Amino acid sequence: MGKSFFNKKFVLFLLAFTLYIPFAPTARAWDNGVSLTPPMGWNSWNKFGCNVSEDMIKSMADAMVTSGMKDAGYQYVVIDDCWQVRRDENGFIVADPQRFPSGIKALADYVHSKGLKFGLYSDAGKLTCAKRPGSQGHEFQDAMLYARWGVDYLKYDWCSTDTRNAQEAYSTMHDALAATGRPIVFSMCEWGTAKPWLWAGSIGNLWRTTGDIDDHWEGKKKWADGGCCSLGMLDIVDMQVGLEGAAGPGHWNDPDMLEVGNGGMTTMEYRSHFSLWAMLAAPLIAGNDLRSMTPEIKAILTNKEIIAVNQDALGLQGRRVGKDGNKEIWVKQLKDGSRAVILFNRGTAETEVSVSWTDLGYPEHLSASVRDLWAGKDLGKVTGKFSANVGPHETLVVKVTP
């Protein structure tokens, strides 16, 4: 009798616990209605550094349309550092009058007239990384001006912040952007220093997880001043492992902007770079000169089937499920129940790479169709596992559909 009473109590406890679960607090995204899939666009920094001007930005917006990038889904045209030179007597930020003679509002209007969106850069410290005025102490004034100009995207850097607390600094700019009432994508560029994946989901739409990318395959390189280090593309990829759970619609891990087309890697390596960024649900922010792309580079950046993996509405970041020396398997679950799968060869000799259905969370006996997304070719139905020869530094991306 005592035993059955305990059981009843236990059942009631279980019921109460089950009912409670849906109301348990969960990490929330900032619900500003933007970036429900990873943002896609172009940013000036990787190719042009401080060499920005209104003529260049206008021609880049033109090229985004004529090259087919806009049709492929790229939307934001973002000016990085060096557009700003000083503050006026009332504290308002002033654009470089030589390089932006028509002013930022006119430039934003031009970008909008092309059916695109416009972005700017600032910094949470007193100075930007290129020693231009930052936003510290001017957050609400800057956000209001950006909104008036028609800014749709703000990249917010972390130089000259001294002892400032990152969560406080980014929350202040979050509040300032929210107060404008304009939906502005908030891109937090804090380099992963204070582990933003643990707290940034309710503050911004994307956050950098590492230091700056450099246009090379792998290996940390010392900066010119002897400091450490610029990161190769694969160094950054390795640093994404374990961060998957923080990403989702409206809030993304950002492994930095693309180097595809900037000349430091081979076409095959750029294909791998783009495949891995798609798998990571990373923002796809091109960093090359869109006015002079080779057909091979354009074909990488505009591949609709690879972009669809990145933009899948479920918004899950892919994860590495297998690593054996230079062979890696990465998997991203898609909304329709299928899986995007990467078979990656980091090495310099061709090798066979296999993925088993159990790696994908499927039962072994399942028969599933396999499609090679780079080749745009159906490879037929397969049961249990899929194997392929993968060339040096190649990434095969397949879609496995039960």
Residue from 77, 93, 111, 129 touching ligand GLA (CB under 6 A): that is 129
Nearest-approach distance from CB 254 to ligand GLA, in angstroms: 10
Contact residue for ligand GLA among 130, 308, 366, 379 (CB under 6 A): 130
Q: Is 55 a catalytic residue?
A: no
Choice from 30, 42, 45, 207 touching ligand GLA (CB under 6 A): 45
Q: For this structure, is 157 an active site residue?
A: yes
Interaction of residue 396 with ligand GLA, rule CB under 6 A: no
**Interface with ligand GLA by CB under 6 A: which range of 101-109, 125-133, 227-235, 381-389?**
125-133
Output the furthest CA–CA distance in the chain (Å, rounded).
Answer: 89
Q: How far is the CB of 120 from ligand GLA (least distance, A)?
A: 11
Q: Which two tokens stand for residue 248?
A: 């989702």
Q: Contact region for ligand GLA (CB under 6 A) — 58-66, 93-101, 127-135, 330-338?
A: 127-135
Identify which of residues 46 and 67 has a Cβ nearer to ligand GLA in the complex.
Answer: 46
- What is the Cα–Cα distance from 17 to 373, expressed in whole angstroms? 44
- Distance CA(58)–CA(100), nearest Å, equals 11
Build a one-symbol-per-residue string for 156-175: x at contacts with ligand GLA by CB under 6 A, - elsewhere: -x------------------
Least Å distance, CB 93 to ligand GLA, is 16
Among 109, 212, 218, 359, binds ligand GLA (CB under 6 A): 212
Q: Which of residues 63-92 bind ligand GLA (CB under 6 A)?
A: 80-81
> Minimum distance from CB of 123 to ligand GLA (Å)?
8
Measured from the CB atom, the residue of 200 and 360 that comes closer to ligand GLA is: 200
Interatomic CA distance for residues 171 and 177, integer angstroms: 10
Query: Which residue in the list 81, 142, 157, 214 is annotated as catalytic?
Result: 157
| Residue of 62, 96, 109, 212 marked active site | 212
Our measurement of the distance from residue 399's CA atom to the centroid of its chain's CA atoms, rounded to an integer in Å, reads 21
| Nearest residue (CB) to ligand GLA, 80 versus 152 | 80
Residues marked active site are found at 157, 212
Q: Which residues bind ligand GLA (CB under 6 A)?
A: 45, 80-81, 128-130, 157, 189, 212
